[in-house]
Chain A
Amino acid sequence: MNPLLAFMIAPLLVWIGLFCYLLSIDKQVRKLGK
């Protein structure tokens, strides 16, 4: 496996994690507004 490809996974996972977390907060905030 290309080491660069392996290293790329870390920021990608951080981003996916942050994205999912923000999506869930966004959903809760929308409910709050209703």
Chain B
Amino acid sequence: MLFKTLLGIWMSAVIVASFLFAPAAAGFKEPEAARIIFFHVPNAVVASIAFVVAMVYAIRYLKSRNLVDDAKSSISAELGLVFTVLATVTGSLFAHVQWGSWWNWDTREVAIVMLLLVYAAYFALRSATDGVERRARLSAVFAIVAVAPMVFLMFVMPRIMVSLHPADTLGRSDGLSAQYRMVLFPAMAGFVGLYVWLFRIKTAIAEYRIKIRRY
């Protein structure tokens, strides 16, 4: 219960800080609208983490053949997909403000659509495969292989191609101001906490379904 209470307070504080503590970002077309990065960036970061976790549990499943590992892998991929959709929506909102159009077919936008398609294919595969063991085995292999395009699409492609989207803002010293960092990093921690909570709830449901043989 402590974790949930802390998360509730933490995220509320992050929302308040993103509006009241962080100043309007100079240099943006709509300086006040730049606050969306406190939600957009953590969503994208959590999505990447979720896909890596899906891969880790997929490897564990192939070793252990325990259906709980398969369930954890698919739950993480599912949450990764949800957070990717949220990153896309918040990105599109900001693109409308900053670049003047909801969708520009920018490198980063194309990359995220491709990523969504990769993981949509993962769930298409899961729903199209008969037999629990066979489905778990095939989707585990998919979840492992899918990390390669995920890393390429999220981290490599936007850096080697021309893009309107800023890159390495967190790594560069001239990127974000100290006040923005003081809100963004706690926001990331909060979103990771939310992911962990959702993961635990869905895992408990999946374990129960496995127990009553309704998985």
Which A residues fall within an 8 A CB radius of B? Answer: 4-5, 7-8, 11-12, 15-16, 19, 22-23, 25-26, 29-30, 32-33
Contact = CB atoms under 8 A, between A and B. Distances in A.
B32 interface: yes
Interface of B is mostly: helix
B19 A15 contact: no
Interface of A is mostly: helix
B16 A12 contact: yes
Interface stretch (B159-167, B171-179, B196-204): B196-204
Interface residues of B, number: 18
B152 interface: no
7 contacts: A7-B19, A8-B16, A23-B4, A26-B197, A29-B208, A33-B204, A33-B208
B128 interface: no
B11 interface: yes
| Best-surrounded residue of B19, B197, B201, B208 (most CB of chain A within 10 A) | B19
Contacts of B198: 22
B97 to A, nearest CB: 14
Interface string B13-38: 00110011000000000001000000
B12 interface: yes
Given A8-B19, A11-B15, A23-B4, 14 more contacts: A4-B32, A5-B20, A11-B39, A12-B15, A12-B16, A16-B12, A22-B197, A22-B198, A26-B197, A26-B201, A29-B204, A29-B205, A32-B204, A32-B208
A16 B19 CA distance: 16
Nearest to A13: B15
Nearest to A6: B19
Given A11-B15, A16-B12, A4 B208 contact: no
Nearest to B209: A32
Contacts of A15: 11-12, 15
A21 to B, nearest CB: 11
B8 interface: yes
CB-CB nearest 5 A-B residue pairs: A8-B19, A29-B204, A19-B8, A12-B15, A11-B15
A3 to B, nearest CB: 9
B55 to A, nearest CB: 25
Interface in B98-155: none
